[in-house]
Structure 1
Amino acid sequence: MGYGKNVWVFPDAELPPEGVNSIPGHESIIITNTGEQDAHVKITLIYTDREPADDLVVEVKARRVRCLRTNEENDFGEHTAVMGEQYAILLESDVPVVAQYGRAETRTVAFYTTPGYACEK
């Protein structure tokens, strides 16, 4: 049995712009699967002024971690984050996982991570 929850919500996502010394900002979702089964995670992006994007699914292998950069087309495809756009991220996994959100906030030269709100379906 793995640790974690099946549902995670990150209400404050925003790809920050280039900051001090031309350092590019970035954000990511980090998903850890401590269990013995591969996790299939549906990602829904919830926006302030348009319909949600709910067609992203990623796999996190058993006993592995996966980092998804929101500004990387390889990770988010057509839903790659747009600089400065406010949105929220909903993760729904078929097995328990642990997830966190990280942002390199280069306007103030800071990096922070935060666990999301976690619950069962």
Structure 2
Amino acid sequence: MNNLGSKVWIIPDGFLPLKSSGNLKSHEAVCVLNLGEKDANINLSIYFEDRNPMENFKAVCGAKRTNHIRLDKIMDNKGNKIPVNIPYSIKIESDEPIIVQHSRMDTTQAEMTLMTTIAYELK
């Protein structure tokens, strides 16, 4: 049995910029590690300052695998993407314990930056 990780994670700071410079597009990713014996079915809910949440963004992280879920590419069950140029937060729920990290590649200027942090784990 896998007792590493959690089934609920929070990322309070999300933002997909409208513009990028150069050939590399600015993006964010929810980086998932599943150390367990079963595939993890993942649901992302997106929260905003001034609008209702967007829900039902689905992903799978295979058993003993990793999945880098690109937030500029994932779509909900209606085909909607996370909007650009609007701050958001994320709740990640999984049916199996997982470990979650958040990464941001900011290419809005020629001097690119990469930011990464472990998500907040709810026990």
Asked if these proteins are the same fold (TM beyond 0.5), I'd say: yes
1:82 to 1:95, Cα distance in 2 relative to 1, 3 A: same
Kindly provide the amino acid, as one letter, of the partner of residue 115 in structure 2.
Y
Output the CA distance in 1 between the equivalents of 2:38 and 2:103.
25
2:110 equivalent to 1:111: no
Task: Assess if the C-alpha contact under 8 Å between 2:59 and 2:69 holds in 1.
Answer: no
Output the CA distance in 2 between the equivalents of 1:76 and 1:114.
23
Output the CA distance in 2 between the equivalents of 1:25 and 1:89.
18
Q: Secondary structure at the match of 1:81?
A: coil
2:65 equivalent to 1:69: no
Identity %: 28
Unmatched runs of 5 consecutive residues or more in structure 2:
none
In structure 2, the residue matched to 1:93 is: 94
Post-superposition shift, 1:27?
0.9
Output the CA distance in 1 between the equivalents of 2:21 and 2:57.
32
Task: Assess if the C-alpha contact under 8 Å between 1:10 and 1:117 holds in 2.
Answer: yes
Output the CA distance in 1 between the equivalents of 2:24 and 2:37.
39
Post-superposition shift, 1:20?
4.2
Between structures 1 and 2, the one with greater helix share: 1
In structure 1, the residue matched to 2:84 is: 83
Q: Which runs of 4+ in 1 moved over 6 A?
A: none
TM-score by length of 1: 0.86
2:54 equivalent to 1:53: yes
2:72 equivalent to 1:102: no
Unmatched runs of 5 consecutive residues or more in structure 1:
none
Output the CA distance in 1 between the equivalents of 2:57 and 2:20.
29
Output the CA distance in 2 between the equivalents of 1:57 and 1:23.
25
Output the CA distance in 2 between the equivalents of 1:15 and 1:58.
19
Coordinate RMSD, CA, aligned: 1.7
TM-score by length of 2: 0.85
